[in-house]
Amino acid sequence: MVQSCFNEEYRPQFHFTPENNWMNDPNGLVYHDGVYHMFYQYNPNGNTWGYMSWGHAISTDLVHWKHLPIALECEVDSNGNVMEMFFSGSAVVDVNNTSGLAVSIGKDRNGKDIFSQPMVAIYTSTYPTAHTTSNGHVIRQGQQSQSIAFSNDNGLTWTKYNGNPIIPSPPPDYADQYNQFRDPFVFWHTPTLKWIMVLTLAMKQIILIYSSKNLKDWTLESQFGPYNARFGEWECPSLFPLYVDDNTAAEKWIILIGINPGGVIAGSGTQSIIGSFDGKTFVADPSEVYDPAKVPCGSTVFQDFEATSSTFEDLGWTGTGDFVGSGPRKASTVNGGKVKGYLGNGIMTTYLFGNIGTGTIASPKFTIRKDYISFLIAGGYYPYNPATAGTPEDNQVSITLVVDGKVVHSQTGTNTETLVWRSWNVAGWIGQEAYLIITDVNTGPSAHIHIDEIVFSDIPKDEANWNDFGPDYYAAATYNGLPTSERTVIGWMNNWAYANSIPTSTWRSAMSIPRKLALKTIDNKVRLVQQPVSSLSTLYTSSLYSRNFSVLECGETKVNVPAPYNTRMKVALKFTRGAGIKFGVILCSNASNTQETVIGYDFLGQNIFVDRFKSGNSSFVDSEQNAFPGYFIATMPTKSTDVIELNILLDWSSVEVFDGKGQVAITSQIFPLDHGAADVKLFSEGGSTRSVSVSIHGINSVWK
Ligand code: FRU
């Protein structure tokens, strides 16, 4: 095996990566005796997914990690057949030895045994081959069952429990889901003095809740879902309490759910739902659940595409190219009936002759009078890219909003055939004339778009509470063993849409920076907020750049950040709206800006954005899952006098962006090609920005 040196191209310097090989989900996060354990999905044999095992690392501060030997290794028979893989799960320390898995580690003064506190891993056994286990379980091909293993030396060596699997199959009503039943997250529930397990029936978008007195015998208590983002597989659930606004008397429970595909961009995503839990049932707060069949109260319907016997021209819309003379279609007749999630019967679609049709369909002009435009959208991921729009390289399949001749908002499909809600904040253009244009200039795989129910409203129509609005934050798991006020989460900083082909070697995939979670009331709504763990600041260099501008003029201002910190730094920005329309920072750029990652705030669109269209290499994605290039937004309305705060972490091949309150985050991988050019530039677009304060610190490597 090639020995890694932790300075290979793109190797993160302050994010966790395995020394070599493939990694996905964080598993078994548990804090015990001053040590943070992190296990993770790991392939000991290569740097693509396979031979799933649990890797292991430990830390005392969540930023410096020590790699340890593999904890649970994929089992292969003498013919090389994989017999058992160790899929995602969790770990607990059984301090009261409820499981009876402790061992004597000595005697006390009275000669009585002193027992260990066993660390117990609860994971999914995935069996690729049909067989009968040594303890008599008949296993079907592809079966997923829940199992446990225990360690009496703090996670270094593990023994599989001889009664495994402890939950061989899903409940009888879901018996056919025997191969989609996984990812147990277990924790101790003090009020009921029981262990609680949440896991998913992935294809049903259902979370099952079990309880146990001893970690071995489990009773099904209830089920939850599907809710909100629910059109892919649900994986890696977590359930945990947090205090609202630090008030220990105001506890709420949060369910975190991975969804893939069907994430906010395309591929993988993470959503959360706030509610209550009584030891048996999780009940979502009503305000947390979005009914996809309802438009916001007081909405004006601009176009519902119900007139399926009319042409677009009859409706005042204009088609070009192959869409001249076409009109709304009955959704049930489109793409062999695969389209789901529409309202009524009719939709607008560019799937007229398979993916072959190209052209545009433009709405009549209208005056913007409400703060939000919302619509249902599905189809392939081919975003509008301002640099190529209208050129021969244009491959967009998108809906855009045009004001004053300029595209001010755009949205593409998320590589699904189920329509989902998306909303644009248009408060910045109230009173102005606008139109919508649907563009499909692509004939590639899934190159079509479906649109339905375009409404104007005062509030957005959300699909889900996205935990992160970027493409690269998945399978988020939280630490057991910490007090409620220190609940800490780590996500896998990748996306199944392209994870196996990102251009890194000898390892593949990094974890997100660990983030502390809290519930905060912001604008009268209780929200899940997150901030990088405070220990990250121990890695900061002294200030590399610190400046205040009462007015930052329109244009770009170069900032000198010396290597190596120009590829790993923290940028803190504070600013207030001026005459300009966007403000932010350009990272990893060259002099001509042909390579750049742009991060900022859009004062008109009221969102934080990360633009990775020109971030570097994106050629590794295959054409079916073209989901790498993009412009990612997190809507965060502000007033013109507000001080807006952005904190940005750059670590060579990733950016993580948090607003000052931690209410939105955007996590995105980038693969800059031109390493010599890692310029940092502030920019103010369309005019000046006021009261700008910029503070930049380098971040020291944790591997040196
Ligand atoms: C999520 C996931 C889990 C599964 C694991 C397998 O990324 O698909 O559902 O347990 O990865 O590696």
| Tens-place pLDDT, residues 687-702 | 999 999 999 999 999 9
116 lines ligand 1 (CB under 6 A): no
Distances (CA, A) of 183 to 171, 302, 387, 458, 650: 16, 43, 42, 39, 30
Instruction: Find out whether the peptide bond into 392 is cis, omega within 30 degrees of 0.
Output: no
195 lines ligand 1 (CB under 6 A): no
Chain-centroid distance of CA 169 in Å reads: 29
Of 462, 88, 474, nearest to 259 (Cα)? 474
- Encoded tokens for 242: 């947090």
CA of 305 from ligand 1 middle (Å) equals 39
- The pLDDT, as a whole number, for residue 625 is 61
CA of 674 from ligand 1 middle (Å) equals 33
Q: How far apart are CA 613 and CA 595, in angstroms?
A: 9
Q: How far apart are CA 279 and CA 47, in angstroms?
A: 40
Give φ, ψ of 337 to 5 degrees.
Answer: 75, 15
Can you tell me whether residue 349 is helix, strand or coil?
strand
For 354, counting Cβ atoms within 10 Å of its Cβ (0-12 exposed, 13-18 middle, 19+ buried), the class is exposed
Give φ, ψ of 176 to 5 degrees.
Answer: -70, -5
CA of 412 from ligand 1 middle (Å) equals 26
Distances (CA, A) of 28 to 25, 279, 489: 10, 21, 12
Ligand 1 pocket: which of 22, 233, 235 to mutate (most atoms <8 Å of CB)? 235
Ligand 1 pocket: which of 236, 238, 496 to mutate (most atoms <8 Å of CB)? 236
Can you tell me whether residue 173 is helix, strand or coil?
helix
200 lines ligand 1 (CB under 6 A): no
Of 690, 685, 683, 659, nearest to 577 (Cα)? 690
- The pLDDT, as a whole number, for residue 3 is 54
CA of 39 from ligand 1 middle (Å) equals 13
212 lines ligand 1 (CB under 6 A): no
Q: DSSP assignment of 628-676, as one string? A: SS-EEEEE----TTPPEEEEEEEESSEEEEEETTSS-EEEEE---S-TT
Q: How many residues does the chain have?
A: 704
CA atoms within 13 A on the CB side of 108: 6
- Quote the Cα angle for 451-452-457, to 5°: 115
Ligand 1 pocket: which of 82, 183, 234, 493 to mutate (most atoms <8 Å of CB)? 183
Neighbours of 247 (CB within 10 A): 10
Distances (CA, A) of 349 to 40, 358, 400: 42, 11, 15
183 lines ligand 1 (CB under 6 A): yes
201 lines ligand 1 (CB under 6 A): no
Q: Could you identify the atom of ligand 1 that is nearest to the CA of residue 124?
A: 10
Q: How far apart are CA 12 and CA 130, in angstroms?
A: 40
CA of 256 from ligand 1 middle (Å) equals 15
- The pLDDT, as a whole number, for residue 2 is 47
233 lines ligand 1 (CB under 6 A): no
Whether 213 contacts 195, CB under 8 Å: yes
88 lines ligand 1 (CB under 6 A): yes
Minimum CA distance residue for ligand 1 atom 8? 235
Distances (CA, A) of 306 to 118, 328, 362, 461, 616: 62, 7, 17, 20, 43
CA atoms within 13 A on the CB side of 510: 28
Q: Could you identify the atom of ligand 1 that is nearest to the CA of residue 87?
A: 10
- The pLDDT, as a whole number, for residue 622 is 75
pTM value?
0.98
pLDDT means per 10 residues, the chain with 704 residues, are: 76 98 98 98 98 98 98 96 98 98 95 96 98 96 98 97 98 98 98 98 98 98 97 96 98 98 96 98 97 94 98 97 96 97 98 92 98 98 96 96 98 96 98 98 95 98 97 98 98 96 96 98 96 98 98 97 96 98 97 95 98 94 78 98 98 98 98 88 98 98 92
Order of strands across the sheet that contains 607-611: 555-559, 679-685, 582-589, 597-602, 607-611, 631-635
- The pLDDT, as a whole number, for residue 5 is 82
Can you tell me whether residue 241 is helix, strand or coil?
strand
Distance in Å from the first CA to the final CA of the chain: 21
Q: Name the percent of the chain in helix, strand, coil, to the closest 5.
A: 5, 50, 45
Instruction: Find out whether the peptide bond into 226 is cis, omega within 30 degrees of 0.
Output: yes
Q: Which long-range contacts (CB under 8 A, 24 or more apart) does 336-340 make?
A: 338/417, 339/378, 339/417, 339/418, 339/419, 339/450, 340/231, 340/417, 340/418, 340/419
Residue in the structure block whose two tokens are 């997100």:
512
- The pLDDT, as a whole number, for residue 449 is 98
Active site positions, annotated: 25
CA of 478 from ligand 1 middle (Å) equals 16
b/e map 389-425, b = 16+ CB within 10 Å: beeeeebbbbbbbbbeeeebbbbbbbbbbbbbbbbbb
Of 529, 504, 532, 507, nearest to 519 (Cα)? 529
22 lines ligand 1 (CB under 6 A): no
Q: How far apart are CA 287 and CA 364, in angstroms?
A: 34
465 lines ligand 1 (CB under 6 A): no
